[in-house]
Amino acid sequence: MKHIVVFASGSGTNFQAIINAVNSGQINARIKGLISDNPDCKALERAKQNDIEIKVIQPKNFENTQSFGSALISTLQTWKTDLIVLAGYLKKIPVSVIHEYENRIINIHPALLPKFGGKGFYGSKVHQAVLDAGEKESGCTVHIVTEEYDKGPILDQQKVPVYESDDVETLAQRILQQEHYLLSKVIGELIEDLNSKS
């Protein structure tokens, strides 16, 4: 069975959606572990409740990006990782990890890339930018992680309308529901693809 490792920094609702999709059989894989840079995040609680291994690895505890990357790779290798899913993870993935797991790291972004992506575009900042630009639609994107923020190949997108009455919170909520659906769908497809090749 293929092993998924999730990276999360926050409340972990996307992580929970992945757990639910694995439990329901939509994703034919095992969540081997959760890596977080935030020892107080709610995602860790979700992992504990579901008997998923946890590792808190904080960049600030390492001399440089290289040693941070080595620590991540060591954990990922221990867990025999097949697919890495960034589900609200706010740190840049070291280049060494991206090379080691090329085309096997995906991220969910709360906008329709290539619009509203790149450094500094995360969370509510993305939704505020969408509203400020007067966009009629937004949504979410699942893409392959490369060395540049939000520039990797797009795997799938889900659109949602932007209403005149929207504020950051209402737009974020509508997109988050679609994130849960889209992320699980893409992971399921990628795992099937990996299974067919092994």
Q: Is 183 helix (H, G, I), strand (E, B) or coil?
A: helix
Q: CA 178, 180, 183 angle in degrees (round to 5)?
A: 100
Tell me which residue of 158, 58, 57 sits closest to 108, measured CA to CA: 158
Spatial separation of the C-alpha atoms in residues 24 and 89, rounded to whole Å: 24
Q: Please state, as a whole number, how many other Cβ atoms lie within 10 Å of the Cβ of residue 120.
A: 9
Q: Please state, as a whole number, how many other Cβ atoms lie within 10 Å of the Cβ of residue 116.
A: 21
Q: Which of 3, 99, 109, 143 is catalytic?
A: 109
Is there a catalytic annotation at residue 180? no
Q: Which residues are catalytic?
A: 109
